[in-house]
Structure 1
Amino acid sequence: MIAPLYGDLTADAQDRAIAPSPPGTRKIVLATPIAETSLTIEGIRIVVDGGLMRVPRFDPRSGMTRLVTAKVSQASAEQRRGRAGRLEPGVCYRLWPEPSHKALAPFTPPEIMDADLAPLALELAVWGVSDPSSLAWLDPPPAAAMAQARELLRELGALDADGGITAHGRRMAGFGVHPRLAHMMLKGKAMGLGALACEVAALLGERDIVRAQPGFRDADLRLRVELLRGLDDEGRVRGAGRGLTVERGGAQQALKQARNWKRQLGVKGNGGDLGATGLLVALAYPDRIGQRRPGGSAGGAAAQYRLSNGRGAYFQDAEPLTAEDWLAVADLDGAARESRIFLAAPLTLAELEEAFAEHIRSETVVAWDGREQTVLARRRRMLFALALEDKRLPNPPAEAIAAAMLQGIREMGLTALPWSDELRKWQTRVLFLRRREGEEWPDVSDAALLETMEDWLAPFLNGASRRAHLDRVELGNALRGLLSWAMQQRLDKEAPTHVEVPSGSRIPIDYSGDEPVLAVRLQEMFGLAETPRIAGGRVPLLLHLLSPARRPVQVTRDLASFWANAYKAVKADLKGQYPKHYWPDNPLEAEPTARAKPRGR
């Protein structure tokens, strides 16, 4: 016989796993870490340990707990090993290499390191402890998880702005249940929904009572409340069917708990209209109110929702709830970015506006939209991260449009502006003089220009509000405005765009490298004894002397030395490659030419 064993099994199923197997029958027990406890299962002589365990991990960023698969600790492995020898000698098979055993953690981390700390934070607040570090802990609670827990309690009204306990918080603490559920029941009673709130809380405190059959998809919490109400004293559920079964043990426990809370809360009878289920869930989980994302088809598979905590959630398959515009999500998988929804209930915009009126804020947003590459100006009513209403803002302030446009340029990069080749060369000339003469020349590198756009570019945007408008920006005037008239004159004099060489040609200077370069054909330099200089004669140009085919044959900043020493060898090589060209023996007395030969030769 094969018997599973885990905490949510019915009592009968657990007894079947623990009891001795029938005579003549062997038994295999498939167990979770519940078997690591002092639990004794008669007849067990062999343990096969996979070395893994499923543990709950709370993520302060998402406010959700999810199950993760982790390696066991050495202590857990020893506990599992001990199950094989409880009543008689046995053997344990560990399914991992023996040398890696020492790499396992010595002990399982304390639960406080990975738990949802909201109940602890509420208890501390009742004691009057605002700073957990003031207490002596065996293992101090993580600061991030504790901060998230206290923020949740403030959101639920259990703590005031200073972190002290409120009257509502004291009533929540008296329930002995998670603060979310206590808050929901108290608020539900005040709204005349106390009985329904107790039923919803009881269901959320247990595993899902629905055991779906293949092909069944329905994450609607209202269905579970309806089934709970149909439970009779023998654990049978009236109305079950529709491709599902109800886990009787869990349903009975939930019904018992709901009755206890109704007595504690002072409410009677059934919970009333199921339509308020979503509103109650939203009260417990204000951070998990879901709004349908635009673009998806109602009722379609993989419906996408944006949650009020700013994260995303989805239904993996099409089901009735995927047609809803607004949801309150009670259970999801807690994935880092997009979480799968397992349990939810619908609610309406009117319900949200009434129940969360104090959390709704109006805001005006003028911001860059990277997808549309335009400035969007909107007036919004926001509930946490959700836009309840989003309308176009007419006539937004010009300064707000300019600021958003500048942000857009920063995201797109400076190349979004209408640069010309001439302006890029102007940029390199200014940077050359800045390197030579220091900070009296402005930093016009791309990084510096992006950082200081408010100073030099904003006045020239002229109402631009989308990328296409940037083509009309007078970028040249904006950039040249960074230099005074006197500096513009010095720029043209000390970092000229061109140099006239002996052949009469005006050759452009390349300032893009570490030093300025003049790339010129060798024949055009005949007759020139010294290297041309710029910056008031202080900086010699780096000459790239070219062949007739404009290939470099020599790089030098000392032209006189080249004529005296290297020219003879270069001439011999070039004369062999270009015999029809003019290659004089004495270049200093030769006539420079931009042609193959000087005129008349």
Structure 2
Amino acid sequence: MTHTFPVDTVIETLFTALGEHGGAILEAPTGAGKSTRVPLRLLDTHWAKSGRVLMLEPRRVAARSVATFMASQLHEKPGKTIGYRTRTDTRVSEETRLEVVTEGVLTRMLLADPELNGISLVIFDEFHERSLQGDLGLALISETREAFRGDLGLLVMSATLDCGPLTERLGLPLVKSEGRSFPVEVRYAPAGGHQDWQQQVTGQILSIESEAKVVLVFLPGQSAIRELSRLLSRSALESDVTELHGGLSLDRQQQVINRAAGGESLVILSTNVAETSLTIENVTHVIDSGFQREPVYDPVRHRTRLVTRRISEASARQRAGRAGRLGPGVCIRCWSEDEVMARHNTPEICRVGLDQLVLDLARWGCLDPSQMQWLDHPPEAAWCSAVGRLTQQGALDQSGAITAHGEAIASMGVEPSLAMLVLEGKKSGLAKTAARIAALLNERDILAGHGADIRSRLQLLDQKPERFNALLQEASRLVPGAGKHCEDWSEGLAALLVKAMPMQLARRRSNDGRRYQMADGPGVILPQGDALEGQEWLVILDTDGKPKDALVRLALPVPADRIPSLLTTLTTAKEWVGWDAVRHRVIGRRQVLLGKIELHSLPLQTLNTEQVAIALLDGVRQEGLASLPWTPRLKQWQARVARLADLEDGWPDVRDETLRATLETWLLPYLSGMRAMTDLKSVALDNALTALLDYDQQRHLDQLLPEMVSIPTGRKVALDYTGERVVLAVKLQELFGMRSLPELAGGRVFITAHLLTPAGRPAAITDDLTRFWTENYQAVRKDLRGRYPKHPWPEDPLNAEATAWTKKRAGL
């Protein structure tokens, strides 16, 4: 440990803060050395001598890599002084004093032992990534420190997070370390025209090969890495191309890191695992696609899935910084400099499903998340949705407490929906098959782009298990032995999936072999030309996550002749009365349903009067208020009342959106005996609307905003209240002698006069009649005398007699 790092200058300050306050927050940019220097120095302190130090990493690859590097600094292998523990791999012993674990492992440790006996200090590394398990772990640790272990140390380390809110929430001192980096030239190179972004990235790699040593290319996922590797294999690239992602074994990851450190010319195609978690030496150039794969809740499948999204400004800075670790570097961003990006990534707790969080907190004994300390509180809607699902599935009781079934689900370490699949598999004699399917759904698709049939994946695992060691290890973790051999699943697979996932059954829509209606509501669509096209029934296991017409990625066909026996306990019968948008009338049916899928139905001969009225209101909402018998007079009434509601309290809100939302209040009593849209033509709409006003309001309406006003000819003219201003449209000659326009609502509303020619065309507009006569009339008169010579155009309009006639007819 002869090299010095920026964090070395603040380690003593940090340890002093830890000793005085029992905890601290360290803010240090990537490359400062916090992930390795700080833990190694802690080995010489009382924290490591009085117990074990636990350090959390958000990713398995980072946990293994960091632990392996630190062990090498002590000339040891992982498992002695320094060990690591992930969901699938453990290297610890009685000698271990510093244990690097993934965040989910900490949750399981806390649920098994809330006091964390034997642990003296917990370190949260790379906390700026704000994973759901990281947020949960910090909330649980905070409660443990408050309730059980005042002596338990806490150190939170972050690279890019604004630590102000974290410092305030935890009440711990903040120690900052400056980073060490060289200038990085940032270039922008967006894809042009019809160019694919992957082709653009390929072109940028080729353009800088001659000047680069190690090129680090950030891509959103393994499928993008495979595609770019294919494109580069067809190019004239001379540098070796290698991959770096979480799906590689530790040995293969270390080989890539060693090759870079050894000075080879390399192009490393990496996911964001290289953004902050791993140290890669000799990187001179970074090419950033600008994309990442991140977990997002899929309401169609009721589980969290990975989707490709644009990175944040903070991630872009992290990635660019990789090019300036050892000297000046270059970062090429494959997007426009003008593009607006989010400042930070949205915390997982705000964008993923919360089923596992609800179960974990229920095991902890917390039924109300507001009782815990959070940096960002779980969204109420997502929390309530998860509680509802888990209660329906028997994982929680009616009070929200966890059941024995829920304990079994929570202990499996996978999403609850996948855990329930495995538990159903154990009951059905297909435990190993269920474990393999759960592993397939929890990892990346092993046959992406080769059809949606899940059976092809299971067959591939049977035929070539050596290609999928990591996936089969995960299956064996769920069910021992599932990775080595499997049951004959050909007969019982459909029954297993239907029992485990009944609401994921989907039925083909009529006349379309690719479109399906799912039992829980959404419509989905098979890829063009998929071998499953035309199957009447499918169990949908995975989609691309779109809220409408999601593309099916994994599914299983269910023979139609098996459906009746499989659905005997899953269907419900109910009577439905509703609006038929095709026939424009209320209809009733007795339905046999599987969720939202109608299996059978018969028309109801007799309909409940109240249900008919409610369904008719639904029809009005669908077809719009225009389906009611509005007259011009009623439209004016609506505009008059709306104008008074803006002036005075107490008047009803009669805008279209409010009337549409409150049909039950004002229209329902007038629908007796009606059933179809044609019946609505006779509804007493004027009575229904007028009833919204009390007696005094009806009287005051005519006083304050009358329908008509009298003009000098003695004629009454209707006012138009429907526009922005109240309009009096009248022939100019009919206002001769009129000095001012009437005022409305006690002088609070003014009239605008649209003065018309004898032919009824616009001649002038004014809201000040006296000013018009004195300033504008002569010019208008000059024009109109020439166009309408048979009509009177007196020089003094204020003293002339109002008329609508010609001079001859008026006797002039």
What is the TM-score when the length of structure 2 is the normalising length? 0.54
Distance 1:598 1:401, change over 3 A: same
2:283 is matched with which residue: 36, 39, 46? Answer: 46
Matched position secondary structure for 1:57: strand
Aligned residue number for residue 221 of structure 1: 454
CA distance in 2: counterparts of 1:200 and 1:565, whole angstroms:
86
Question: Using the alignment, how far apart are the partners of 2:547 and 2:717 within structure 1?
Answer: 56
Residue 271 (structure 1) aligns with: 487
> Relative to 1, partners in 2 of residues 1:481 and 1:341: Cα closer, same or farther, differing over 3 Å?
closer
SS across alignment from 1:297: coil
Counterpart contact for 1:281–1:329, Cα < 8 Å: no
Alignment partners' CA distance in 2, 1:550 and 1:571: 15
Query: Is residue 297 of structure 1 aligned with residue 539 of structure 2?
Result: no
> Which residue of structure 2 lines up, in the alignment, with residue 413 of structure 1?
624
For the residue of structure 1 that corresponds to 2:246, the secondary structure is coil
Deviation digits for residues 429-464 of structure 1 (CA, Å, limit 9, x no counterpart): x75997999999988775675566556644554644
Residue from 393, 398, 401 that aligns with 1:161:
398
Correspondence for 2:315 among 55, 73, 86: 73
Decide which of 522, 538, 545 is 1:334's aligned counterpart: 545
- Partner amino acid for 1:30? L
CA distance, structure 2, for counterparts of residue 283 and residue 222 of structure 1: 18
C-alpha separation in 2, matches of 1:151 and 1:436: 42
- 1:190 to 2:427 alignment: yes
The equivalent of 2:721 in structure 1 is 512
The residue type paired with residue 487 of structure 2 is G
Give the secondary-structure state (helix, strand or coil) at the position aligned to 1:163: coil
The one-character-per-residue Cα deviations of 1:557-599 (angstroms, maximum 9, x if unpaired) are: 9999999999999877765654444567999797967344147
Q: Relative to 1, partners in 2 of residues 1:580 and 1:154: Cα closer, same or farther, differing over 3 Å?
A: closer
Counterpart position of 1:314 = 525
User: Deviation string for 1:209-263 (max 9, x for gaps)?
Assistant: 3366xxxx421112222333334xxx5xxxxxxxxxxxx421x444555566554
**Given residue 536 of structure 2, which amino acid in structure 1 is its aligned partner?**
D
Aligned-pair CA distance for 1:73: 3.2
1:6 aligns with 2:245: yes
Query: For 1:309-346, what per-residue CA distance to the aligned partner results, in whole angstroms no more than 9, with x for missing partners?
Result: 54443223221222223322223232344432221112
Verify the 8 A CA contact 1:497 1:508 in the aligned structure 2: yes
The structure-2 alpha-carbon separation of the partners of 1:569 and 1:91, relative to structure 1 and needing over 3 Å to count, comes to closer
Q: SS where residue 164 of structure 1 aligns?
A: coil
The residue that corresponds to 2:444 in the other structure is: 207
Shift of 1:184: 1.7
Structure 1 residues 551 and 387, CA gap change in structure 2 (3 angstroms): closer
Which of 246, 249, 252 aligns to 2:467? It is 249
Task: Answer whether contact 1:518 1:541 (CA < 8 A) is retained.
Answer: no
Q: Structure 1 residues 195-204 or 217-226, which shifts more?
A: 195-204
Contact map agreement 2:517 2:597 (CA 8 A) in 1? yes
Counterpart Cα distance in 1 of 2:645 and 2:363? 65
Contact 1:515 1:542 in 2 (8 A): yes
3-state SS of paired residue (1:340): strand
| Inter-CA distance 26–401: structure 2 relative to 1 (3 Å threshold) | same
| CA distance in structure 1 between the aligned counterparts of 2:277 and 2:751, rounded to whole angstroms | 87
**Alpha-carbon distance between aligned partners in 2 of 1:436 and 1:208, rounded to the nearest angstrom:** 59
Instruction: Report the CA distance shift for 1:391/1:192 in structure 2 as closer, same or farther (over 3 A).
Output: farther
Alignment partner, residue 325 of structure 1 = 536
The answer (yes or no) to whether the contact 1:76–1:107 under 8 Å persists in 2 is: no
Check if 1:403 corresponds to 2:642: no
**1:31 partner amino acid:** S
Cα drift, residue 296 of structure 1? 4.9
Alignment partners' CA distance in 2, 1:208 and 1:158: 28
Instruction: Please show how residues 24-63 of structure 1 align to structure 2 within 5 Å.
Output: 26-35=265-274, 45-51=282-288, 52=290, 54-59=292-297, 61=299, 63=303
Alpha-carbon shift at residue 161 of structure 1 (Å): 2.0
2:395 and 2:405 in contact (8 A); partners too = yes
172-181 or 110-119, which deviates more: 110-119
Partner AA of 2:308 in structure 1: V
1:155 to partner: Cα distance: 3.9
CA shift in 2, pair 1:497/1:191, >3 Å: same
Q: CA deviation at 1:116?
A: 5.5
Query: Is the partner of 2:422 in helix, strand or coil?
Result: helix
For the 8 Å contact 2:790–2:806, the answer to whether it is kept is no
The 3-state SS of whatever aligns with 1:320 is: coil
- Of residues 171-180 and 323-332 in structure 1, the stretch that sits farther from structure 2 once superposed is 171-180
How many residues align? The count is 556
Calculate percent identity across the aligned residue pairs. 32
Which shows bigger deviation, 450-459 or 105-114? 105-114
Task: Report what 1:238 is aligned to.
Answer: none
Equivalent position of 1:240 in the other structure? none
**Residue 337 of structure 2 corresponds to residue 93 of structure 1:** no
Q: What value does the CA root-mean-square deviation take over the aligned residues? A: 5.6
User: SS in structure 2 opposite 1:153?
Assistant: helix
Deviations along 1:489-537, whole A, 9 cap, x unmatched? 99999957696975xx855433537667372462x678x89999999xx
Which structure 2 residues correspond to residues 111-510 of structure 1 after superposition, within 5 A? Answer: 117-135=354-372, 146-210=383-447, 217-231=450-464, 235=465, 248-250=466-468, 252-255=469-472, 258=475, 261-263=478-480, 270-282=486-498, 285=501, 288-292=504-508, 294-298=509-513, 303-347=514-558, 360-368=571-579, 373-421=584-632, 424=635, 431=641, 450=660, 453-454=663-664, 457-458=667-668, 460-461=670-671, 463-473=673-683, 475=685, 508-510=717-719
TM-score normalized by structure 1?
0.69
Return the alpha-carbon distance in structure 2 between the equivalents of residues 6 and 548 of structure 1: 82
Code of the aligned partner of 1:322: E
SS in 1 for 2:516: strand
Work out the CA distance in 1 between the residues paired with 2:427 and 2:711.
Answer: 90
Pair 377,597 (structure 1): closer, same or farther in 2 beyond 3 Å: same
